Structure 1
């Protein structure tokens, strides 16, 4: 199998709970391709959610929104939510830098983590409900999940790693600007699937600049939890932007 093929499988194994019964080699080449495939994996997950929306479209709107949210969490295994919770606990502590890092690594769940989780899921569920009520095509989830993971690639390529340890550091060792450009290529499909997606790309840029500034000030760099939290935050922000822009047009 080619490095690109192994990279795609590595990305699926890392970012999803889709069973991949294959031991993929971790090399500089396959790890680069894995990161390049992040947005593609997001688009595949978005496609599965859109398909589920079609299959269960007869359900009442609140139940369909909850089903989609549940499937969304199940497909990712809650990986990015875990990062969001760790970052929320560290930020909420308002402690000095070293203590914030210690809190982020602590396996115990604090009150700020629970609050962040509840509000994240509540807002995502409410926005999915609003999408369905507004008649927004669920194919837009392909754009939201793909762009959310493009944000993760951007952070891994462009942002400094706070410490020479952990997943973010391991991923970043072999990355360059070319990898970010290659990660963009699958998103070309959005020209046909979700016309007007460039507005969402611009919204993602606004989010990344704001989030990146906050993270650099608070932690002096990124780690795996911070990248995972960026995916969750980016997805939520894009759900809101798509709902606001398309519902106003349809209305």
Structure 2
């Protein structure tokens, strides 16, 4: 139980900016539990965003409500996954050989492709949030989106090898098996079964991770921490599109 508790706290430390006043041990056991807790962290973040949305709904028009929720969403995660998205965009946009792409991804400087990716990603995310709220969806629809986004990261860590024998992604993978993915999936899949249209979200996530995993393996030979972070952001955007499509057409 101690390993499970430390693992959950590690997951909060890695995926959010929420304060954790404990020094958690970094061991194979705590890493396994941390990966299993990724969706639980998504549940925490999603619940906080949904509560804020419920309190502000009716007080703010949909565009301002969408902007407020997106701002809180980014603040809770500290933009950690956006950083991965930006690094990946710079590397891919460079159109250079593999070793140069890896060097660009590690470079702390921000290039034009990173800025463009950030701007358009947040614009699309905000617009889809606005459209979802304007269509009459509850802010609680964001909970399965955020939960499943983190499950996608676990799926990527388990299914796609690290490109190099170093870094956080490689360290995580040394402790993970398919059993950890199954355990991590219990709550997200139960939530998807309970939420109307949740099955489409789960299927959409699976399709995204398969396509994304194949693409990054071809482009980089595998994954690293930035690629996993970008997968969370890309998965959330894709799931928001599915949620809006389902709500707009199935509920019309």
TM class, shorter-chain normalised? Answer: over 0.9
Which range is displaced more, 116-125 or 187-196? Answer: 187-196
Q: Secondary structure at the match of 2:121?
A: helix
Off by >4 Å, runs of 4+ in structure 1: none
- The answer to whether the 8 A contact 1:65-1:125 is kept is yes
Q: TM-score, normalised by structure 1?
A: 0.97
Tell me, yes or no, if structure 1 residue 135 matches structure 2 residue 130.
Answer: no
Q: What is the match of residue 169 of structure 2? A: 168
Alignment of 1:109-120 (within 5 A): 109-120=110-121
| CA distance 1:191–1:169, change in 2 (3 Å) | closer
Aligned alpha-carbon RMSD (Å): 1.1
* Structure 2 counterpart of 1:206: 207
Report 1:50-69 matches (<5 A): 50-57=50-57, 58-69=59-70
Supply the distance in 1 between the matched residues of 2:177 and 2:38 (Cα, whole angstroms): 15
Contact kept, 8 Å, 2:158 with 2:173, in 1: the verdict is yes
TM-score (ref. length: structure 2): 0.97
8 A contact 1:140–1:193 mirrored in 2:
no
In structure 2, relative to structure 1, the CA distance for the partners of 1:105 and 1:242 (3 Å cut) is: same
Three-state SS of the structure 2 residue aligned to 1:164 is coil
C-alpha displacement at 1:208, in angstroms? 1.0
Q: Distance between the aligned counterparts of 1:2 and 1:158, measured in 2?
A: 27
State the secondary structure of the residue aligned to 1:139: helix
Matching residue of 1:182? 183
> Where does the alignment leave 5 or more consecutive residues of structure 1 unmatched?
none
Q: How many residues align?
A: 251
Q: Which runs of 5+ in 2 are unaligned?
A: none
